[in-house]
Amino acid sequence: MNRLLLLFVVIVLPVSISAQISVVDVTTDTVNVFSKDDNAIKSNKIAMAASIALPGLGQQYIGKRHAAFIFAGLDIAALFGAIFCETYSRRFDRDAYGFAASRASIDGTGKDALFWNNVGNHLSMEDYNTVAGLNGTDQMYNDPSYSWRWAPDEADFKQYQQMRFDARKLHTVASVCLGAMVLNRIISLVDIRASSKYKKSDDMVSFSVNPAFSPGLNYAGLSVSAHF
């Protein structure tokens, strides 16, 4: 009899108790054991140096991707604008010089920019020399190779002036684009300076073990959860 009672205590009772315990998938809280510091600080000096080379690189380095796209896009647009406008400005100038050479009987070999400006301001070399003498300047043209003369109706003369004006407008736009690139770098540096910290959004890995109880405390268990 004593042996049967002992057998019941050792075998049957633990089985009966264990039958009342189950695992319930209930998560009451999650403790992240692999979390990373979201306030990591990266070097502003490296970011600022990168932004001088190309605005937006510094923002990309510290994690500001939207700002990086804006700064880089503005700089690339300004660069292409400067190249495009300056290229066509010089082309318009060459076209104007060729037009003047054919319409005002000019030998364009070896002539500088000042000469072409004077061609656009005076109807002839003699007209220029007269005005220069009245102004008391010694810069006159006495070499016949510098001679020019526009037609009396001044139509070609005005067209040449317009061509030069269009070239100067494009040159001005190119200068503005270059100034925009400089300004973009300054603003980018200020933005980097103001952003001494960044938040890095990584995929979080978490692991949790929590006690779980059924309503009425009839069952008890452990809830194990992992998030990747």
For residue range 119-162, list pLDDT tens digits in order.
999 999 999 999 988 887 778 898 999 999 999 999 999 999 99
CB 111 within 8 A of CB 64: no
Please tell me the distance from the alpha carbon of residue 157 to that of residue 123, in angstroms, as a whole number.
Answer: 7
Let me know if residue 216 belongs to a domain: yes
Let me know if residue 16 belongs to a domain: no
Let me know if residue 139 belongs to a domain: no
Please tell me the distance from the alpha carbon of residue 166 to that of residue 57, in angstroms, as a whole number.
Answer: 36
For the chain, the C-alpha Rg in angstroms (whole number) is 42
Let me know if residue 66 belongs to a domain: yes
The CA distances from residue 153 to 140, 150, 156, in Å, are 25, 8, 8
Let me know if residue 200 belongs to a domain: yes
Give strand pairing partners of 225.
208
Let me know if residue 25 belongs to a domain: no
- Structural domain count of the chain: 1
DSSP 204: P
Task: Return the pLDDT at 21.
Answer: 40
Task: Return the pLDDT at 200.
Answer: 43
CB 178 within 8 A of CB 82: yes
Please tell me the distance from the alpha carbon of residue 180 to that of residue 79, in angstroms, as a whole number.
Answer: 9
User: Residue type for 218, please?
Assistant: N
DSSP 60: H
Which domain does 184 fall in, by range? 36-104+150-227
Q: Return the number of other C-beta atoms located less than 10 Å from residue 193's C-beta.
A: 13
Q: Where are the alpha helices (DSSP H) in the chain?
A: 2-7, 13-18, 44-53, 57-61, 65-103, 113-121, 125-134, 155-194
Q: pTM above 0.85? A: no
Let me know if residue 129 belongs to a domain: no
Task: Return the pLDDT at 6.
Answer: 47
Q: Return the number of other C-beta atoms located less than 10 Å from residue 120's C-beta.
A: 18
Let me know if residue 22 belongs to a domain: no
Task: Return the pLDDT at 135.
Answer: 84
Please tell me the distance from the alpha carbon of residue 217 to that of residue 24, in angstroms, as a whole number.
Answer: 12
Please tell me the distance from the alpha carbon of residue 89 to that of residue 155, in angstroms, as a whole number.
Answer: 22
Name the stretches of the chain with pLDDT < 70. Answer: 1-42, 196-228
Q: Which one, of 202, 207, 228, lies nearest residue 33 by Cα?
A: 207
Q: Which one, of 185, 183, 182, 226, lies nearest residue 207 by Cα?
A: 226
Cα end-to-end span (Å), the chain: 57
